[in-house]
């Protein structure tokens, strides 16, 4: 008879598949909502719903709001919120799968940070032990080759700016992930991390909306989309955190790339997104590079961190 721990580990892949699907559905809703609302408004309402739900969870689990590391929360929330704004902006102007793929470049960016640390510091000055890992270099090169292939069709559609913003969202998501890892290592609950992230998102979204044109009027369809975005984002975030907490990191991280596959399917079905050999090859390269980078990064990292959405 299986133990409770074995059952939780067995459920981790299901949780991650559910999280990838929830985030993809959120992206679908963002793309529909972006025809009516700006990125700032969408971030505001997504964060408002997330903040309310996370406050209830914290109350239910008896987790306090006070933290002894407010500065760490500030930088994590700031980088994650900017990444989220840029990603929602990119979703509005790019094929859905392309926007998701660029955001999922975060693992490749982390690999680049590790390579850069080895080059600048070296083992004798506090850099990674063993110097530069050739496999990480290969993963970084493969990832950026994939970006070039994915963005080449985008260039033909005059969507370069949205593509660059999507790429930058992946970079900042990597920064946020590293900060979440640091918070996890010192014992900060994931719920508190998400709570402050949502609070920062509300402030940033409201400010961005005010600067870019204010608040639009609502109708039933618009409100339903905004509510769905918040619920799907929070549900996906929670499932992903549980998956990382109970499963093998590499297997779980590899499954998150199903979001690109889901995004491709929804994009073709709902938005008539173009299907090109170059973009498919680029997505495959990025997925392979991301899985490889995650495997190598997991070997260098201490256990216990639970990644969350940017």
Q: Residue 5 above 60 pLDDT? A: no
CA terminus-to-terminus distance, the chain? 38
266, burial (CB in 10 Å: exposed 0-12, middle 13-18, buried 19+): buried
Q: What is the pLDDT of residue 266?
A: 94
Q: What is the pLDDT of residue 223?
A: 94
Question: Confidence band (pLDDT; 50, 70, 90) for 53?
Answer: very high
List the structure tokens of 2: 């299986």
Q: Residue 250 above 60 pLDDT? A: no
Q: What is the pLDDT of residue 120?
A: 65
Rounded mean pLDDT, 162-173: 92
CA distance linking residue 127 with residue 131, whole number of Å? 7
Rounded mean pLDDT, 36-57: 93
Rounded mean pLDDT, 147-173: 82
Rounded mean pLDDT, 159-174: 90
Candidates 53, 19, 24, 22; CA nearest to 201 is 53
CA distance linking residue 309 with residue 13, whole number of Å? 17
CA distance linking residue 116 with residue 243, whole number of Å? 30
Q: Residue 10 above 70 pLDDT? A: no
pTM listed for this prediction: 0.84
Query: What are the domain boundaries of the chain?
Result: 4-300
Dihedral sign (CA 251, 253, 258, 260): negative
Q: Residue 4 above 80 pLDDT? A: no
Question: Confidence band (pLDDT; 50, 70, 90) for 305?
Answer: very low
Mean pLDDT lowest for which of 26-40, 211-225, 232-246? 232-246
Candidates 225, 183, 187, 6; CA nearest to 77 is 183
Q: Where is pLDDT greater, at 222 or 131?
A: 222
| CA-to-CA separations, 219 to 36, 44, 191, 223, 307, in angstroms, rounded | 10, 17, 32, 6, 35
Q: What is the share, in percent, of the chain residues with pLDDT greater than 70?
A: 82
Do the Cβ atoms of 100 and 27 come closer than 8 Å? yes
Rounded mean pLDDT, 94-98: 90
Do the Cβ atoms of 181 and 305 come closer than 8 Å? yes
Q: Residue 233 above 60 pLDDT? A: yes
Q: What is the share, in percent, of the chain residues with pLDDT greater than 90?
A: 40
Q: What is the pLDDT of residue 73?
A: 93
């Amino acid at each position: 008879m299986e133990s409770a721990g074995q059952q939780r580990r067995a459920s981790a892949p299901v949780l991650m598949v559910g999280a990838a699907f929830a985030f993809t559905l959120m992206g679908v809703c963002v793309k529909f909502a972006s025809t009516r609302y700006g990125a700032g408004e969408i971030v505001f309402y997504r964060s408002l719903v997330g903040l309310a739900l996370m406050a209830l969870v914290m109350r239910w689990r008896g987790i306090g709001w006070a933290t002894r590391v407010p500065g760490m929360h500030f930088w994590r929330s700031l980088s994650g919120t900017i990444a989220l704004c840029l990603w929602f902006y990119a979703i509005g102007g790019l094929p859905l799968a392309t926007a998701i793929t660029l955001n999922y470049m975060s693992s490749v960016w982390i690999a680049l940070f590790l390579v850069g640390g080895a080059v600048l510091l070296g083992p004798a000055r506090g850099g990674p032990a063993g110097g530069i890992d050739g496999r990480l270099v290969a993963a970084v090169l493969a990832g950026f080759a994939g970006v070039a292939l994915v963005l080449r069709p985008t260039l033909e559609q005059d969507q370069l700016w949205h593509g660059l913003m999507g790429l930058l969202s992946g970079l900042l998501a990597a920064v946020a992930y590293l900060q979440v890892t640091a918070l996890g290592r010192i014992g900060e609950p994931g719920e508190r991390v998400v709570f402050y992230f949502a609070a920062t998102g509300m402030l940033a979204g409201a400010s961005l909306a005010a600067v870019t044109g204010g608040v639009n009027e609502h109708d039933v369809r618009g409100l339903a989309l905004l509510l769905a975005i918040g619920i799907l984002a929070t549900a996906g975030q929670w499932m992903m955190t549980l998956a990382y907490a109970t499963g093998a990191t590499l297997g779980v991280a590899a499954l998150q790339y199903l979001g690109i596959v889901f995004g491709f399917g929804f994009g073709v079905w709902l938005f008539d997104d173009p299907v090109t050999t170059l973009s498919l090859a680029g997505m495959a390269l990025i997925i392979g590079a991301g899985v490889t980078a995650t495997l190598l990064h997991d070997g260098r990292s201490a256990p216990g961190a639970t990644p969350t959405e940017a």
